[in-house]
């Protein structure tokens, strides 16, 4: 099978001003078209990188709901996401009421439910005073410190705040080792 050979005109042969102008015009208009498309498209896709530094307080209930020196699971709807998150936004955090400090202010420890190892949900066992992770057996003490197992650190602390006798937390994103929850977001 012999195919008819097609000779492509080379740039040298195309030296005439009109042709070369047209070619460069095509290149530049093409580049412009790509640019005006690329900006919004990359902007759209880059939206995932937006850092979630918005301050959002979620009330968990009156302080009296949390007995002193005990750990309770508090559930809430996390509205950091979108309205159609449904039940996947219904989360829990562990609240430990440490009692009042010398100034009479309520002190709380609030832990995310995610294990610091790979993010599985830990369970609280009041009988042994331990948090246990079902996935790889990470164990934490009641103060959130790592007790044993594969986690490289303790539980993730969430910023608590008491307003008018109601305990609230700063809405938690999914905590990971390099993006924890203890930073207080700017208002």
Partner 1 sequence: MRRILAWFDARLSLRDTLVPMMMHPIPRGAAGPMGWWYVFGSASMTLLILQIVTGIGLALVYVPTADQAYESLVFLNYSYLPPFGWFLRSLHYWSGSAMVFMVLVHMTQVFLLGAFKYPRELNWLTGVLLLLFTLGMAFSGQVLRWDADAYWGVGVGASMAGRVPWLGPYLVDLLLGGPIIGADTLSRFFALHVFVIPGLLLTVLAVHLWLVLKRGISEPPVPGKVVNPQTYQQEYETELHKEGVPFFGEALLKDALFSALTVIAVVVLAAIVGPKGPGALPEPALLGANPKPDWPFWWLFALLSLSPPQAETFIMLVLPVVLIAALLLVPFVSNRGERAPSRRPVAVLSVIVIITVLAVLTYYGATEPWSPVMGAWSGDAVPPRLVQASTPLELQGAVVLQNKQCRNCHALDGIGGRRGPDLTRVGTRLTRDQLIDQVSNGTPGGGNMPAYGKQMKPAEMDALVDFLVSLRPPGQEPARPAAVAQTPRPRASP
- Closest CB to partner 1 among residues 27, 125: 125
CA distances from 64 to 82, 153, 166, 167, 170 (A): 31, 31, 9, 9, 19
Contact 100, 106 (CB under 8 A): yes
Task: State the minimum distance, in angstroms, from the CB of residue 135 to partner 1.
Answer: 6
Q: How far is the CB of 53 from partner 1 (least distance, A)?
A: 10
DSSP one-letter string for 111-167: EESB-TTT-PBPEEETTTTEEE-TTT--EEETTS-EEESS-SS-PPB--EEEETTEE
Residue 4 C-beta: closest distance to partner 1, Å = 15
Q: Which residues bind partner 1 (CB under 8 A)?
A: 48-50, 52, 73, 75, 78, 80-82, 84-92, 113-114, 117-123, 125, 127-130, 132-137, 139, 141, 146-150, 152, 172-174, 176-179
Least distance in Å: CB of 18 to partner 1? 37
- By C-alpha distance, which of 117, 67, 72 is closest to 93? 72
When the beta carbons of 64 and 128 are compared against partner 1, the nearer one is 128
Which lies closer to partner 1 via its Cβ, residue 116 or residue 167?
Answer: 116
Task: Tell me the three state secondary structure of residue 99.
Answer: strand
Nearer to partner 1, 106 or 141 (CB): 141
């Amino acid at each position: 099978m012999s195919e008819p050979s097609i000779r492509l005109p080379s740039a040298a042969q195309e030296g005439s001003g009109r042709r070369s102008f047209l070619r460069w015009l095509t290149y530049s208009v093409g580049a412009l078209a790509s640019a005006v498309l690329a900006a919004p498209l990359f902007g759209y896709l880059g939206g995932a990188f937006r850092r979630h530094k918005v301050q959002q307080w979620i009330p968990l209930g009156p302080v009296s709901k949390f007995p002193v020196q005990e750990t309770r699971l508090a559930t809430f709807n996390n509205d950091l996401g979108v309205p159609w998150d449904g039940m996947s936004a219904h989360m829990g955090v562990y609240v430990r009421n440490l009692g009042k400090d010398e100034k009479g202010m309520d002190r709380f420890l609030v832990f995310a439910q995610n294990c610091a190892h790979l993010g599985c949900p830990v369970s609280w066992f009041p009988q042994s005073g331990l948090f246990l992770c079902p996935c790889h057996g990470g164990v934490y003490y009641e103060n959130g410190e790592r007790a044993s197992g594969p986690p490289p650190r303790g539980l993730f602390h969430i910023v608590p705040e008491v307003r008018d006798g109601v305990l609230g937390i700063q809405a938690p994103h999914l905590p990971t080792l390099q993006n924890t929850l203890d930073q207080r977001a700017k208002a």
